[in-house]
Copies of this chain bind each other. A is one copy, B any other.
Amino acid sequence: MKKKAATGMHGDCGPKHLAIKDTMELLSGKWKIQIIGALMRNGTMRFMDLLREVDGIAAKMLSKELQELEINELVKRTVCDTKPITVEYEMTTYGRTLEKVIAELAHWGELHRKRIFKKSK
């Protein structure tokens, strides 16, 4: 079964709402943002490097998430012709356009933490 990029083409026409949903689905889940973050900080990384840096992730998950990111052209996958082959991943320039979005998420999140912490004492 062929996989497709995230662009939910359901008949109903909520205009902006679908675009938001696309972005959210791309970034949702337990690992996507951590993987993107690691790649943005470190540049090119091998599968193993990611497996170590992303903390608790299992190989299966990492593999699956990277495929999604690749399909959506956020990440470039390069197979290196070494003895046991290695694979390198890096953000595409397109993928880096997410930086603004993520920065906004981080900024609001920090405000929110401050606000909620203050209330709880």
Contact = CB atoms under 8 A, between A and B. Distances in A.
Contacts of A18: 109, 113
- If over half of A's interface residues share one DSSP class (helix, strand or loop), that class is named, otherwise mixed; here it is helix
A105 to B, nearest CB: 4
A98 interface: yes
Count copies of this chain in the complex: 2
A80 interface: no
Interface string A91-103: 0001001101110
Interface residues of A, number: 45
A111 to B, nearest CB: 7
B7 A113 contact: yes
A48 interface: no
